Each structure stands twice: as structure tokens, then as C-alpha cells.
Amino acid sequence: MDIIDAHAHAFPDAIAAHAISSVRDHGRWHKIQNHHDGTLVGLLASMDKAGIQRAVLCGVATKPTQVEKITDWSANIASDRIIPFASVHPDYSAPEREIERIVRLGLRGLKLHPQYMQCALDDARCLRIARAAARAGLAVAIHGGYHPSFEKSDEGSPLRLRRLHDAVPDLRIIACHLGGMGDWQGVLDHLVGTGIYLETSFAPAWCPPDILAAVMAGHSAHRIVFGTDAPWNDQAAELAAFRKLPFSAEALELALSRNMAALVAGQ
């Protein structure tokens, strides 16, 4: 099986150590550890150890000046194993133009992070990016719920994510952490049963088992994708935990491979 990790991170070598420490050492409500060094070489080694063939590498523009640099780096590192997603900050002056450039460069998607971008998912600026991405046929991975490096607030709540989905229903959304890290009940209340793709990183360990079982039972098997959020999870351990979830053989193959393969192929 061609296992695809729908949610991973790496950084240019020159900034990898700083990027890792800035997340690892600044937890507000939970401390997390890195399981590779933040470089592309480190990610590939982690994938090899876990038996993961491909990974979506999510860039995050924390300020507008990073947008074009992330697009350029993403285009340069794309390979048969690495599927880079670029990132457009909500305060970037010309999101439609940059999204057109992202498409020309052959990239398949974007990453939005409401906490690092200081913008709620249902804010007009995020909706503008979402509409442009939908028109361009890009998938958009979105951090859902809280984030350990920030005080708990609702910029990325399942409710706001649902509002974005309702406003731009043709956008192919990959909701990281089931769309509700730390707000698992909100996933059940607002996201289950929609057309949103629910990505599973941190859910096997952090989501209460009864809620996780209800999410898996209530959401289409064609809209669940495996992810790790490496380096913040060990890919091999996350894959082992994922395989223990109550999936049928077909649902497991969909989540580990076929669903994400179709998404990045634009299907």
C-alpha cells in the first residue's frame, strides 16, 4: 500500500533548528516534543523508518513576507515522495495572484493556521483565500481547534471551520486534528457528516475514545485521511496507533492511501 501522511512539516536547513525550538519550547497548555530535526532529510528518514511512502509537507506563513519564499521553497522540494503545500497569509496583499502562481508551479494545496496567522477561519480574509483556492482547484489543509503554543481561543474552532465550509462548499478542506484539537465534542457537533476531510493527527492519543469512535462511525470513510503532524508526533508510533482504530480493511486503505492520493491528484 502507498501510505500517505497527509500532514507533516519540515523547514529549510538554515532555519530548521529555530523553527523547532520556537514551537517545542513555547507550549502554553501542553508541551510537545519533536521526533525529527525539522529538516527535509530528517523527515524522509522518519518516513523510511515508519514505512510511509509519501507525505504532504505543510508550509505555514506566519507573516505576509514569508508567503512567496514558502511558495518558492515548496516548488523546489517537490518530489515523488514530498507533496508540498504552500501557504498564503490572510494579510498578504494579492492572494489571488499568488494562488495563480502556486498552481503554475504545480503545487497541490495550501495550509492555513488560524493561530499563527492571527485570523479566525470565518474572517473575510480567510474566506477570500478559500474562494480563490477553490476556483484554482487547490486543497486547503487547516489547523482545527486549539494549538499548544497559544492560549486557548476559538479562531480555529470546529464551528468556525464549519462556517468556512458552508461559505465555500466546493473547497476541498483537510481539517487537521479532526478539525478540533482540544475541542473534540465540537467535531461531533459541527463537522461529522460533512464533506470535509478529517485528518487524524493527535486524535488517537488525545481524543476521548468514545468521541473518536463516534466520529469514525459517523463520518464517511471516503473523507478520513491519516496524518501525523511530524515532527510533533513519531510517524511510526502514530501509524501503529492509527492501525488499531476500528476500521474495516477497505476503510483503512482509503484513509491510509486512496483518499489522499485522489485529493492531491485533484479528484
Average pLDDT on 3-18 reads: 97
Q: Is the pLDDT of residue 31 over 90?
A: no
CATH for 157: 3.20.20.140
Average pLDDT on 89-117 reads: 98
Report residue 155 CA to chain centroid gap.
Answer: 16
Q: Is the pLDDT of residue 91 over 80?
A: yes
Asked which of 20-29, 63-72, 158-167 is least confident by mean pLDDT, the reply is: 20-29
- Dmax of the chain from CA atoms? 46
C-alpha–C-alpha distance, residues 41 and 132, integer Å: 32
How many residues comprise the chain? 267
For residue 20, what are the domain limits? 4-264
Q: Is the pLDDT of residue 267 over 80?
A: no
Number of neighbours of residue 27 by Cβ within 10 angstroms: 14
Q: What is the DSSP letter of 202?
A: T
C-alpha–C-alpha distance, residues 110 and 234, integer Å: 23
Work out whether strand 224-225 and strand 109-112 pair parallel, antiparallel, or are unpaired: unpaired
Q: Which residues pair with residue 82 across a beta bridge?
A: 55
Overall pTM > 0.75: yes
**For position 203, what pLDDT does the model report?**
97
Q: Which residue has the cell 502507498?
A: 2
**For position 30, what pLDDT does the model report?**
86
Average pLDDT on 37-42 reads: 98
pLDDT band at 175 (very low <50, low <70, confident <90, very high): very high
Q: Is 107 helix (H, G, I), strand (E, B) or coil?
A: coil
247's grid cell: 476500521
Q: Which residue from 50, 36, 77 is spatially nearest to 242, judged by alpha carbons? A: 50
Q: Is the pLDDT of residue 88 over 90?
A: yes
Distances from the Cα of 263 to the Cα of 6, 7, 248, angstroms: 10, 13, 21
Q: Is 38 helix (H, G, I), strand (E, B) or coil?
A: coil
Q: What is the DSSP letter of 169?
A: T
- The number of CA neighbours under 13 Å toward the Cβ of 61 is 26
The structural domain count of the chain equals: 1
C-alpha–C-alpha distance, residues 159 and 221, integer Å: 22
